[in-house]
Amino acid sequence: VESKAVFSVIGMTCSACAGSVEKAIKRLPGIREAVVDVLNNRTQVMFYPNYVDEETIRETIEDVGFQATLIN
Ligand code: 9UX
């Protein structure tokens, strides 16, 4: 069964960086889908919790260079 996490991602204003964030998330194990919404500063991720967790995804977004907060 997959889980869903939504993050607020601050500072991401163009599609190039949205693409970088999406690619970085999708490189993690256990990711089903990642959708980055630049206009609303939201990133939604569907993932398999046996393989990856919210904090790992959050840190991956931060490693790309943006402040990320889990919002639900
Ligand atoms: Mo785009 Mo990225 O204008 O740091 S280059 S958000």
* Domains along the sequence of the chain with CATH: 3-70 (3.30.70.100)
CB-defined site of ligand 1, < 6 Å:
12-14, 16-17
Model confidence at 72, pLDDT cuts 50, 70, 90, reads confident
Ligand 1 closest atom vs CA 66: 4
Q: In this predicted structure, what is the pLDDT of residue 1?
A: 87
Mean pLDDT value of segment 3-10: 98
> Would the pLDDT of 15 be above 90?
yes
Residue with tokens 């919002």: 71
Ligand 1 closest atom vs CA 15: 1
Q: For 25-66, write each residue's pLDDT tens digit.
A: 999 999 999 999 999 999 999 999 999 999 999 999 999 999
Ligand 1, from 9, 10, 15, 17: best to mutate by most atoms within 8 Å of Cβ?
17
Residue with tokens 């996490």: 5
CB under 8 Å to 37, separation ≥6 — which residues? 43, 44
List the Cα angle 34/40/46 in 5-degree steps. 20
49: left (phi over 0), alpha (psi -120 to 50) or beta: alpha
Mean pLDDT value of segment 7-32: 96
